Amino acid sequence: MFEIKYLIRIFVVLLFYVSPLKAQILTDYGKGYESWLPAATPDDAMLLGNGEMGAMVFGHPHNETIIVNHSDIYLPTGLPVKPITQTKRLDEIKKLILNGNGTDAAKIPIEISKEEGYKGQAWSDPYVPAFDIHINLTPGNIEKYKRALNFETGEAVVSWIQNGNNFERTQFISRADGVFVIRIKSSAPFDVQFDFDRRPVAWNEWDYVNSNYKNTKFFAQSSFLNFQTEFVHQWQGNIAGYEGVGKVIAKDGVVTETGNAVFVKNTREVFLFVKVEAHKMGESFGTEALKKKLNALSTDYNLLLDAHKKIHSEMFNRVSLNLNGDENDKKLDSEVMRQEAKKRSSAAFVEKQFYAARYNILSATGKNVPHLQGIWGSSLTPPWSSDYTHDGNLPVAISSFLCSNMPELMSSFFDYHDARMNYYRDNATKLYGCRGIMLPSHSSSHGWNVHFDPIWCLTFWTGGAAWTAHFYYDYFLYTNDIDFLEKRAYPFMKEAALFYEDFMTLDKNGKYVFNPSYSPENNPANNPSQATVNATMDVVLAKELLHNLIHSGKILKENSAQITKWQNMLAKLPNYEVDSTGALREWLWPGYTENHHHRHLSHLYGMYDIIDPDIAANPVLWNGVKKALDERMKVRRAENGGIMVFGMVQLAWVAANLGDAEMVQDIVQWLSAQYWSNSMATFHDPNGLFNMDLSGGFQTVIIRSLLYSEPGLVSVLPAKPPMWESGSIAGIKARNQLNVNELIWNRSEITISLKSEIKQRITLKFPTNVTSISVAGKNGKVRGFDKNKSTAIIEIPANTEVNLNMLTQ
């Protein structure tokens, strides 16, 4: 009996170590990718994140580098400077702009900055990587190499056969435990060395590093690895440094400290746990506390992964998209898929990119809102400081949080802005002598508006608070959270409006004038300066804000005098206009001519999200939007998409709201073909410039083409690309507290399942080829079916699923 038990134990051990460690890395090839070679650059690294820590995993078997990131690490490159006292020369600025001399007006802020001690152009503090992890294994002959990332679980796997033995490295960053978990496992004993190191510094970066990093040290101590950095420039309330601690645990073999590294000899399974934390001025490194957290972790890998999946997978899997993509296309290695996407359209590619975008933006969001690179970065000097860019990038990056059913991610956005209200008040006071708040176009560590130059005269952009207020109010429209509206959204919106109350002046016709005004990065064709009067974007932002305040004020029982004041302000805003060609004007001031050859389309803001009711009600303006969109698309077609992908996303939003399915299809094909890396990270420009704007915006494009909502209205398949003849989407959200449990379509019918938290009546708008609509089952009622208007009134009981069936011809 003893011999039998002994033999069984030997057999089990041999089976474990000889058989492949993972029979299949991906269970759903549409929700992850595989690659047949390691990443050559950080752009192609596998991305991991839990919303606080991030990692870029190259996937090298023997000499691996993993770049570690943390959402708090913005390098202070100096003590923050306050906004310039622009108000002292504001009258001069306004007069110059009114006289058509925006060029000289834009020089005045530069002159003031020099007088007030600015040392050249100020930038936001840059987002920088924390450190590198190096993992070195004994080299050998490699076969059947593969790396893969599972979007559903957030787990990255590197596997290979070396000298006949199976090797597997698995890693994820836990949302449950807040720790980066790395496990290496093999069917035969191996040696491995771990160390932490700073990111490589180029020869021309050392002056920059030495002037901003006070000290950096990395060392090993027993089975622990440490990385510590303090910054030169420290100020109250901001981070002063950070620390990373790693713990090496071997299930067998010998662990020793070797210089700055931890060496493990003759092991079959080893773990590295890593945690990073930043500390503020006046605080010290928390080494012992970090060690205590790591020591408390289980070494049961599946237990750790399951705890993470319980949070990550639940959020990720709330939404599903099925465009009936080809299964063989889904199984293509990521490098092959990327090249194939440049040659041909594939519903399978769009499905996988939808899930990749969802994974990327979910992984990047948590403690903080995603910056230009999400939560990742490999450079000490990233493009645009990898900051929060409020005049386009950030609104696109967060655009999918509500409609794609991840509303809790919005908390980081609101927390960021609420914490910087005093900075925004300073901007309003110092730059314009106004009450209320004003957002900068760029920010990171603080919220002062200090980034501008003579071309991009960004102290003249006043619309940031109103655009941000849109998301506060929209959260209420999706959730009907009255407490949030009263305590967070409404106060923010009121302060944004208070700025306009002081800033806007009246012309001789009793209409408000926005001066200075700014349509992001564009200038009229007949004027070289971006400093203008009455940019349409400024007008539509103020209009939306006032509309939303009036509605909110009525809900919250605001006093009638205040509501009347907002109504009077609304009535005095400039009217929209079209030019001689019929295109919606970008500047609502006499003399300016349109400049369509541009990547931004800020004057179409009223069609980005909720359709501006003034545009919807006026056929001239509606056609004006179409004309303006067509002109922008001429530029994009000439450049086969072109740079600045978030502008492409905004084009798709406008096209979808116009019901232009063909144009949406063209844009989706461009987005699918050119703006993805081998690791399914997203790019800012065709085939390059790592950036997460599209990861936020791609989901929104797909969802908006399939479902549009506004208070009291849901529109089904408003701009579905023709090539998606059949398909389904499930789990998305709509305004009016509606959950769209499932939307299914094919050539002959459309079905939609709606569930509301409240009893309500909505207008359902449907495609023009729908011939009838009915309720399947006893729940809900259809009233007022109007085929000519393609609408019906739907009565929805509270907390009950209503299934609607529409037949098409």
Note the pLDDT of residue 16: 34
Q: Please say whether the beta carbons of 305 and 155 come within 8 A.
A: yes
**Token output for 784:** 């007022």
Q: Which residues neighbour 735 within 8 Å (Cβ) at sequence distance 6 or greater?
A: 474, 477, 478, 610, 709, 710, 711
Give the separation between CA 204 and CA 186, rounded to whole angstroms: 42
Which amino acid would we find at residue 598?
H
**Token output for 441:** 């176009």
Give the separation between CA 342 and CA 340, rounded to whole angstroms: 5
CA 593 remoteness from chain centre: 34
Specify the DSSP element, H or E, that contains 226.
strand 224-231
Note the pLDDT of residue 1: 38
The sign of the dihedral angle between the CA atoms of 4, 8, 9, 14 is positive
Give the separation between CA 791 and CA 777, rounded to whole angstroms: 21
Q: Which residues neighbour 233 within 8 Å (Cβ) at sequence distance 6 or greater?
A: 76, 77, 78, 79, 212
DSSP string computed for 286-353:
-HHHHHHHHHTS-S-HHHHHHHHHHHHHHHHTT-EEE----HHHHTS-HHHHHHHHHH---HHHHHHH
Give the separation between CA 70 and CA 85, rounded to whole angstroms: 35
Q: Please say whether the beta carbons of 150 and 22 come within 8 A.
A: no
Q: Which parts of the chain register pLDDT below 50?
A: 1-23
**Token output for 705:** 């083409």
Query: Taking Cα atoms as reference points, which of 327, 349, 485 lies closest to residue 414?
Result: 485
Give the separation between CA 735 and CA 102, rounded to whole angstroms: 41
Give the separation between CA 465 and CA 492, rounded to whole angstroms: 8
CA 144 remoteness from chain centre: 35
Q: Please say whether the beta carbons of 244 and 158 come within 8 A.
A: no
Give the separation between CA 310 and CA 123, rounded to whole angstroms: 40
State residue 523 phi and psi, 5-degree precision.
Answer: -135, 155
Q: Please say whether the beta carbons of 373 and 749 come within 8 A.
A: no
Note the pLDDT of residue 387: 97
Q: Please say whether the beta carbons of 602 and 520 come within 8 A.
A: yes
| Cβ neighbour number for residue 551 with a 10 Å cutoff | 15
Cis peptide before 370 (omega within 30 of 0): no
Give the separation between CA 642 and CA 648, rounded to whole angstroms: 9
Q: Please say whether the beta carbons of 570 and 551 come within 8 A.
A: no
Q: What's 266's DSSP letter?
A: E
The sign of the dihedral angle between the CA atoms of 353, 358, 359, 365 is positive
DSSP string computed for 502-516:
HH-EE-TTS-EE-SS
Give the separation between CA 435 and CA 448, rounded to whole angstroms: 15
Helical segments of 320-444, H only: 327-330, 334-343, 347-364, 393-397, 410-418, 421-432
SS3 197: strand
Q: What's 176's DSSP letter?
A: T
Q: Please say whether the beta carbons of 380 and 209 come within 8 A.
A: yes
- Burial grade of 117 (CB within 10 A; 0-12, 13-18, 19 or more): exposed
Q: Which residues neighbour 306 within 8 Å (Cβ) at sequence distance 6 or greater?
A: none
- HSE on the CB side for 46, CA within 13 Å? 32
Q: Which residues neighbour 571 within 8 Å (Cβ) at sequence distance 6 or greater?
A: none
Q: Please say whether the beta carbons of 351 and 321 come within 8 A.
A: yes
Q: Which residues neighbour 507 within 8 Å (Cβ) at sequence distance 6 or greater?
A: 513
pLDDT tens figures, 463-489: 999 999 999 999 999 999 999 999 999
Give the separation between CA 653 and CA 256, rounded to whole angstroms: 57
Q: Which residues neighbour 395 within 8 Å (Cβ) at sequence distance 6 or greater?
A: 467, 471
DSSP string computed for 157-169:
EEEEEETTEEEEE
Query: Taking Cα atoms as reference points, which of 182, 152, 174, 164 lies closest to residue 59?
Result: 182
- State pTM to two decimals: 0.95
3-state SS of 652-717 is HHHHHHHCCHHHHHHHHHHHHHHCECCCCCEEEECCEEECCHHHHHHHHHHHHHHEEEECCEEEEC
CA 24 remoteness from chain centre: 30
Note the pLDDT of residue 652: 98
The sign of the dihedral angle between the CA atoms of 615, 619, 624, 625 is positive
Any idea of the CA torsion for 789, 795, 799, 804, to the nearest 10 degrees?
Answer: -50
SS3 83: coil
Specify the DSSP element, H or E, that contains 249.
strand 239-250
**Paired residues of 218 in beta bridges:** 227
Note the pLDDT of residue 641: 87
Q: Please say whether the beta carbons of 128 and 70 come within 8 A.
A: no
**Token output for 213:** 């990093």
Note the pLDDT of residue 24: 60
- HSE on the CB side for 783, CA within 13 Å? 10
Q: Please say whether the beta carbons of 607 and 615 come within 8 A.
A: yes
